[in-house]
């Protein structure tokens, strides 16, 4: 039975957010005929203009969706207005109770959150939207480092919560869709689609977004001076208590304000800064992995290796070879 996909669009959507996933499913269908079918839908039938100024024909949102269907919300600059569309939010809420899978590309996760579908669930979004996301939807377990996140279905009966996939930037949507194809059709079909697209089949979902983390380089940020100090003294103690003392704040107040400002916890940011510095040292040819680990504040090479695997999807040795 084919998986029926509804690509959910809104005015100002990003075309690459749609074209990349559509290409993945098209190639999967060539490998396994009948595996996927799809439609483009929006709050109002007719056409929807993308952020590039091109009109795309769309159908009205389907009145019903079934178990096994996939609803994929596309991202783009128009997502903020879409979050204020009550018809669209209500439809997503009804669809989530049907047993269908939900997914979002890039900033489309903001729309899922606005519909109340991500509360107390893990999700990610484009790095440039992480600060906004954390501020507007604090009940979501935002994981700003991840390129995609899969939240499995939970609960039973009428209280069942659907499986939800969210991805980071535009090309991360391709990673997400390849993982969906692997789940539906097997690794062979997903691998063949990846080869046709000339992309890696398995860029891990936990791999870091390579763009600057949460715009932490911004000089006007509230914690800019503190982060500059951390970068210059990565080997020191940077637990929340130490950072809060330096910022002249209580640990609890500091942690809350820091997350609101950056979209991430202090521990996530410190780890990211340490990994960035260690990666630069490895690629620069510094000889001792243990020395790099100590200078960057990991303490030992094994802790550094675990952080690299978690954030970059590869061990330190891979960057030394590069």
Considering the domain architecture, whether residues 145 and 110 belong to the same structural domain is answered as yes
Residue 206, in any domain of the structure: no
Residue 139, in any domain of the structure: yes
pTM above 0.85, yes or no: no
Give the 3-state secondary structure of residue 81: helix
Residue 205, in any domain of the structure: no
Residue 202, in any domain of the structure: no
Considering the domain architecture, whether residues 158 and 230 belong to the same structural domain is answered as no
Question: What is the C-alpha separation between 65 and 39, in angstroms, rounded?
Answer: 12
Which of 228, 229, 209, 230 lies closest to 217, judged by CA?
228
Strands (E), 83-205: 101-104, 122-123, 141-142, 148-151, 164-167
Residue 286, in any domain of the structure: yes
Question: Structural domain tally of the chain?
Answer: 2
Give the 3-state secondary structure of residue 27: helix
Cβ-based burial of 37 (10 A; exposed 0-12, middle 13-18, buried ≥19): exposed
Considering the domain architecture, whether residues 106 and 56 belong to the same structural domain is answered as yes
Question: What is the C-alpha separation between 24 and 22, in angstroms, rounded?
Answer: 5
Considering the domain architecture, whether residues 302 and 239 belong to the same structural domain is answered as yes
Considering the domain architecture, whether residues 45 and 159 belong to the same structural domain is answered as yes
Considering the domain architecture, whether residues 220 and 96 belong to the same structural domain is answered as no
Domain holding 222, by residue range, is 215-321
Considering the domain architecture, whether residues 85 and 37 belong to the same structural domain is answered as yes
Last residue of a domain, one of 197, 230, 253: 197
Walk along the chain (322 residues) and give the pLDDT tens digit of each residue: 689 999 999 999 999 999 999 999 999 999 999 999 999 999 999 999 999 999 999 999 998 888 779 999 999 999 999 999 999 999 999 999 888 999 999 999 999 999 999 999 999 999 889 889 999 999 999 988 788 999 987 655 555 678 999 999 888 899 999 999 999 999 899 999 999 998 876 654 445 554 444 445 444 567 888 888 898 899 999 999 999 999 999 999 999 998 887 778 899 889 988 988 898 888 777 768 899 999 999 999 999 999 988 887 778 887 776 5
Considering the domain architecture, whether residues 193 and 277 belong to the same structural domain is answered as no
Domain containing 219 — which CATH number? Answer: 1.10.10.60
Considering the domain architecture, whether residues 126 and 174 belong to the same structural domain is answered as yes
Domain containing 141 — which CATH number? Answer: 3.40.50.880
């Amino acid at each position: 039975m084919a998986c029926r996909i509804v690509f959910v669009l809104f005015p100002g959507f990003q075309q690459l957010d749609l074209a990349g996933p559509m290409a993945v499913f098209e190639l999967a269908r060539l490998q396994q005929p009948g595996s996927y079918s799809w439609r483009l839908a929006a709050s109002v039938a007719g056409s929807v203009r993308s952020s590039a100024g091109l009109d795309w024909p769309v159908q009205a949102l389907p009145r019903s969706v079934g178990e096994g269907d996939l609803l994929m919300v596309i991202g783009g600059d128009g997502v903020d207005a879409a979050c204020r569309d009550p018809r669209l939010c209500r439809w997503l809420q009804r669809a989530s109770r049907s047993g269908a899978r939900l997914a979002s590309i890039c900033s489309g996760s903001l729309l899922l959150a606005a519909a109340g579908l991500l509360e107390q669930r893990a999700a990610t979004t484009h790095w440039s939207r992480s600060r906004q996301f954390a501020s507007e939807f604090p009940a979501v377990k935002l994981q700003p480092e991840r390129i995609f996140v899969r939240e499995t279905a939970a609960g039973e009966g009428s209280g069942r919560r659907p499986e939800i996939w969210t991805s980071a930037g535009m090309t991360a949507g391709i990673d997400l869709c390849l993982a969906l194809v692997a789940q539906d059709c097997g690794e062979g079909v997903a691998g063949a689609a990846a080869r046709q697209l000339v992309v890696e089949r398995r860029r891990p979902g936990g791999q870091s977004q390579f763009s600057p983390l949460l715009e932490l380089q911004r000089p006007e940020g509230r914690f800019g001076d503190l982060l500059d100090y951390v970068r210059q003294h990565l080997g020191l103690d940077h637990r929340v208590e130490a950072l809060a003392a330096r910022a002249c704040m209580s640990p609890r107040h500091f942690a809350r304000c820091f997350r609101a400002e950056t979209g991430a916890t202090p521990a996530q940011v410190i780890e990211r800064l340490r990994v960035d510095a260690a990666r630069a040292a490895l690629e620069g040819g510094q000889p001792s992995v243990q020395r790099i680990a100590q200078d960057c504040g990991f303490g030992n090479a094994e802790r550094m290796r675990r952080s690299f695997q978690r954030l970059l999807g590869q061990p330190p040795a891979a960057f030394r070879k590069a």
